[in-house]
Amino acid sequence: MQGKTTDKRGEILDAAKAAFAERGFARARIADIARKISMGHGTFYRYFNNKLDIFFSVLDGIFADIARVVADEDPSSTNSLEEYRGQILRVGRRLYGMFLADDRLAQIIFYEAPGVDPELDRRMDEVSAAINRYTEAYLQNGIQKGFLRRGLDARILAKAVDAMIFAGLRDLSASRDKEREAERWLDAVCTLMLEGMGTGRNNA
């Protein structure tokens, strides 16, 4: 659409993403970002207002990517535990695939972004909350359809489930055999969600 301008902006964003992932917000220098793409560092300021501005932009991009994956499924479309499990795995695999494809995402989201700026912390919490609401809608659907138990604390459970999924994303970035580890995580999350770990024999 905007041709070159967009390309350059995208180029800078990508270099910044790398710089922030490598060094964190405080230690990454504008000059580093510029050097990565052989650009005068003054040029940076033609595309972004300041350092915080581009950090927000990098994160907005990541948030948008996550939102796209999460919002791609319809919470009310599943009618059984089995279908639900399938849906979880589908979303999970796409999400995990996205993070596997780009190491920098986990680094930035989990390590570099927190604490940089109060407004950014707020925005991250907002994104979390939005995802939580989405997950809660899935749970409500399951309760309504009868394949999830009545009386579940859907609001809290949604947060708990999301926390597990994101813990997996974080854990992955430190793993060797990432694909296999991802599968194990998705499997474990499904297990906990649907069946728990108990034998059912609640006798002692």
Partner DNA sequence: GATGAATGAGATTTCATTCAT
Partner DNA sequence: TATGAATGAAATCTCATTCAT
The residue ranges that bind its own copies (CB under 8 A) are 24-26, 79-83, 110-116, 121, 125, 139, 142, 146-149, 152-153, 156-157, 159-164, 166-168, 171, 174, 181, 184-185, 187-189, 191-199, 201-204
The span from the CA of 84 to the CA of 69, in Å, is 16
Does residue 123 interact with DNA by CB under 7 A?
no
Q: Which residue has the tokens 């490598």?
A: 22
Q: Tokens at residue 40, please?
A: 């005068």
Angle (deg, nearest 10), helices 51-70 and 4-27:
100
> Residue 6 burial by CB count (10 A; 0-12/13-18/19+): exposed, middle or buried?
exposed
Does residue 120 interact with DNA by CB under 7 A?
no
The span from the CA of 204 to the CA of 196, in Å, is 17
Q: Name which of residues 32 to 91 contact DNA (CB under 7 A).
A: 34, 38-47, 50-52
Specify the residue, 43 or 144, whose C-beta has the smaller distance to DNA.
43
The conformation of residue 150, written as its DSSP 8-state character, comes to T
The span from the CA of 28 to the CA of 156, in Å, is 37
Q: Tokens at residue 87, please?
A: 């849906």
Specify the residue, 1 or 197, whose C-beta has the smaller distance to its own copies.
197
We find the least distance from the C-beta atom of residue 111 to DNA, in angstroms, to be 18
Q: Which does 52 bind (CB under 5 to 8 A by kind): its own copies, DNA, none?
A: DNA
The piece of 24-32, 89-97, 123-131, 185-193 that touches DNA (CB under 7 A) is 24-32
We find the least distance from the C-beta atom of residue 98 to DNA, in angstroms, to be 28
